Amino acid sequence: MSRIVRVAARGEGVSDDGRFAPLAAPGDWLAEDGSVTPGPHHQAPPCRHFPTCGGCQLQHLDAASYAAFCTDRVAGALAAQGLESVIRAPALSPPRTRRRASLHYERGRLGFSMAGSHQLVDLAECHVLAPALFALVAPLKRLLARLAPKRRVEIRLTLADQGVDVLLLGVAAEGLAAAEALTDFAQAQGLARLSLDAGLGPETRWEPAAVTVTLGGVAVPLPPAAFLQATPEGEAALVAGVRAALGEAPLVADLFAGLGTFAFALEARVHAAEAARDAVLALKTAAGRARRPVEAEHRDLYRRPLHGAELDRFAAVVLDPPRAGAREQAAALAASRVPVIAYVSCNPSSFARDVKILCEQGYRLDWVQPVGQFIWSTHVELVGRLSRG
């Protein structure tokens, strides 16, 4: 028999003789026939849908081995680029704290897709969704069964300041009966907003008060389906990491700023650049109302990264790109004189690739803070601090 020593990036256990075993935890024993004998870090999965549901891949890991997985994901990505750094203890979000999720409905089933399949798991319980989101699963099933959509419906749920924001994609809901059903549902469930998107963009059907999300103490208008950090605890950990990285920098560029998660959390003058028009307008509105020293620029940083004199005037930069990373902006930063960069990433691999570009031009990676806000998934986020030597 061989022993499982770590968990690979896709969630399989890896033995000391190089074999892979699904649903194995560090300390498990792997027999020659592929059977697994649980060890001290193999816990009983809390959810009846595991491992069928694709929403979680690692519920069989205890807290210590899941934290080690998050650290290993970061260390492995850095090592693949010939890099290393101080890796701090991961900040993990608790169960049932996910405030943003995308589910699907089809033929009477509502939930996440099965692992490796488009078939849906009909959710009877969920240990990652915030209770306010999970409470809508059964009512949404009844509503959608009544509306009888002809194709699969995507359901995006976000917990806003005023309650749950619901966006249904693939639902037209034409006619008086459908309109009344939507209004009755939204009112009965106390929704903050209900919107439909049949393919031409979101159309709001219910919004008794303007929907906002509070970021850094500022109420920011929340466009339908706008990006928001998945859990409040994850957001707090990322914000704390950025603050620690930047110190008291008086003038900061927040690149890929979104709605202003970091811009409003900093005690500095901030230039926020973002490509999503709705997010820029929301950020500008919130900054104006709160009289915060944040200016927003509508800018595609893939096609038009900040460079040269645009960058050199800043004491620090926050970089928070999508999963693909920010190769073009990283190259521009590498040629700049910006003294400190806080790089927030949802993909350790693209992070490490971009960091290598920066380190080859004189930056050093001081430390990395892993953040596991998608608990029991293989998705790991992080904040890294880079500085010029």
Tokens 């350790």, residue?
348
Peptide bond before residue 51 is cis, with ω within 30 degrees of 0:
yes
Indicate the length of the chain as a whole number. Answer: 389
Distance CA 256, CA 263 (A): 11
Q: What's the whole-number mean pLDDT along residues 79-92?
A: 98
Type of residue at 183 = T
> Any idea what DSSP says for residue 28?
-
pLDDT of residue 134: 98
- How far is C-alpha 262 from the chain's CA centre? 14
Q: How does the average pLDDT of the chain come out, rounded?
A: 96
Distance CA 272, CA 286 (A): 13
Quick check: 69 pLDDT over 90? yes
Confidence of residue 381 (pLDDT cuts 50, 70, 90): very high
pLDDT of residue 199: 86
Which residues are tagged catalytic? 346
Confidence of residue 175 (pLDDT cuts 50, 70, 90): confident
User: For the chain, how long is the longest CA-to-CA vector?
Assistant: 66
Distance CA 188, CA 178 (A): 15
Is residue 380 a contact partner of residue 238, using CB atoms and an 8 Å limit? no
pLDDT of residue 67: 97
All residues at 6 or more sequence positions from 101 whose CB lies less than 8 Å from its CB, including other chains: 128, 129, 133, 156, 157
Is residue 268 a contact partner of residue 317, using CB atoms and an 8 Å limit? no
Distance CA 231, CA 221 (A): 18
Beta strands in 314-380 (DSSP E): 316-319, 340-345, 363-372
pLDDT tens track for 176-205: 999 999 999 999 999 999 999 988 899 999
Quick check: 170 pLDDT over 80? yes
> Any idea what DSSP says for residue 264?
G
Distance CA 98, CA 125 (A): 14
pLDDT tens track for 326-351: 999 999 999 999 999 999 999 999 99
pLDDT of residue 32: 92
Quick check: 28 pLDDT over 90? yes
pLDDT of residue 304: 97
For residue 261 the two structure tokens come to: 């998660």
Confidence of residue 173 (pLDDT cuts 50, 70, 90): confident
pLDDT of residue 76: 96
Tokens 């920098």, residue?
249
All residues at 6 or more sequence positions from 31 whose CB lies less than 8 Å from its CB, including other chains: 1, 37
- Among 347, 348, 215, 322, smallest CA distance to 270 is for 215
Report percent pLDDT > 70 for the chain.
100
Quick check: 389 pLDDT over 90? no
pLDDT tens track for 284-329: 999 999 999 999 999 999 999 999 999 999 999 999 999 999 999 9
- How far is C-alpha 277 from the chain's CA centre? 20
pLDDT tens track for 118-163: 899 999 999 999 999 999 999 999 999 999 888 899 999 999 999 9
All residues at 6 or more sequence positions from 64 whose CB lies less than 8 Å from its CB, including other chains: 41
Q: What's the whole-number mean pLDDT along residues 209-223?
A: 98
